[in-house]
Chain A
């Protein structure tokens, strides 16, 4: 597994670089502890960690909303929060869910956020707002008051605000939180689209499979500390895959696998898993069949990020934190 350098001097390659970034809230809570993050340009970067692990706190520091207690953060090669005015017009962000003016229509909400950007030309505001609404599929609902929007629509309007300008970096803090599967799919499709345009996407999530589905790179946080970061493929490669036998005869199957010297055999309902065999897997199949095991499925499952996480931390990924 290859670790990316903590900070790259060439900002063309590293969009976000932090060094020993630390935040202790006024209550004394150490939320982020000595974080060294490097987000390569053009990546879809998953920022993974259970609830309370410091993801939102990190994003607040990157966006200049809160001051780090110590350490530094550079976004697009410039220090934050010092260079907020120069950096943020190139960054779209969705932080801790959307926030809208309920008494304004969806369209007017975007007009308001666009007007807040001093680098946004007022003459092209309407065009930009219409394009952003179209991009997230809210053109038909543009005239409705935002308080009448469903959560999914609010989330999409928040994304539209983040996409008012062509961005170099899109920061999304748990963008699928609270959405139904259809809503999640829509958001993921949008993320892929934005990434295909060349925008670097920094995506925080407590959902492993979400990171696996859309990210090229990932960093794993736990209790404010960075556990690892790198390309998703490299992270997953750190953990070996698993042999999976699907069968109603789990007892017999487990016995045969153990006889063949396969380690860590785990019996589940209708399937038995274990470490991948050293030699030809076909020999294992033959042995199973010879022992009268009704084999319904057989194969080696690719290692997942979750396997990698377990391998790294020696514990399960506890979503509840």
Chain B
């Protein structure tokens, strides 16, 4: 018996073995034909997966991201900001004096002593320019580049995760992180505010008063808008992440871009360009606390985030689905 014949007979044995395995694993396969080699033309190689199984990767990505020590550290820093602000305000006002009376400090800080709910707004206004987007930049920048860096990207791709599917899962997880990060700031602020200060009716920017329940509802809406404000940066970071095999480089580039754009957005000579910078309308969330709500800038902000998500999401897709993965 020649080697070739032996290989041939091994090939025949494949079919018998596959049958045995099919028996053991009927839970995974449907019908007798599943897993059997009957040629590619009729497509019977394929297991018959449920479309729902595709969400396994999203779940895995969420669990993996939120179990990372780094993610938890970022969230801990974000949770600490309202604590620091709340305690500082409490100490400064313990002698009965007012804080930030002459417009210093973050927005709404003067009202915290009257109503702890304003700590939520103060904390969001304090973290939105830098802490929150920096955390998002780290997660988004590392999304693909970090996997490439570790070499795990090639194994996800041969699993096969599918490039478009993996990118969508990474994008979705980054957006979930935007939401979680914002909610962490808001909830921490609400807890600290309730512990240190009285809660009660809310005086809007327009001077009208709304009940605590409606005040809480508006605070929740504000948190959602703040989270949505971060989507443009998340898309930008994801795109940067597809460009390099270094997670650190992608994170640094994304955060660097954030700082640069934030600075450019302060330069009056760039007036014509400024409305197109992704952070330009970030602080418009305060308009939700007017009575009635001023929607103009809020909608401009959400629209701008949508445009950034579409442009950089497509760019990330174009790059990632065609790129050579050699790491």
Contacts and interface: CB of A to CB of B under 8 A. Distances in A.
A231 B2 contact: yes
Interface in B269-284: none
Nearest to A41: B11
Interface in B1-28: 2-4, 6-18, 21, 25, 27-28
Interface string A108-122: 000111111111111
The DSSP consensus for interface residues of chain A is: loop
A123 B49 CA distance: 12
Given A12-B37, A86-B45, A88-B159, A198 B7 contact: no
The DSSP consensus for interface residues of chain B is: helix
Contacts of B154: 63, 65, 95-96, 99
Contacts of A233: 2-3
Contacts of A11: 39-40
A12 to B, nearest CB: 6
Nearest to B21: A166
B28 A121 contact: yes
Which interface class (under 10, 10 to 19, 20 to 34, 35 or more) fits B?
35 or more
Contact of A116 (B43, B49, B60, B324): B60
Interface string B143-155: 0000000111011
Which interface class (under 10, 10 to 19, 20 to 34, 35 or more) fits A?
35 or more
A271 interface: no
A197 B162 CA distance: 28
B87 interface: no
Contacts of A276: none
B324 A66 contact: yes
A99 B158 contact: no
Across the A-B interface, the 6 shortest Cβ-Cβ residue pairs: A99-B151, A42-B10, A198-B14, A231-B3, A116-B159, A42-B11
Interface of B: 2-4, 6-18, 21, 25, 27-28, 35, 37, 39-40, 43, 45-47, 49-50, 53-54, 56-57, 59-60, 64, 67-69, 150-152, 154-162, 165-166, 322, 324-326
20 contacts: A25-B324, A25-B326, A42-B8, A42-B13, A60-B326, A66-B324, A76-B40, A95-B158, A99-B150, A100-B152, A101-B152, A103-B67, A111-B60, A115-B56, A116-B57, A116-B159, A118-B160, A118-B161, A121-B28, A124-B28
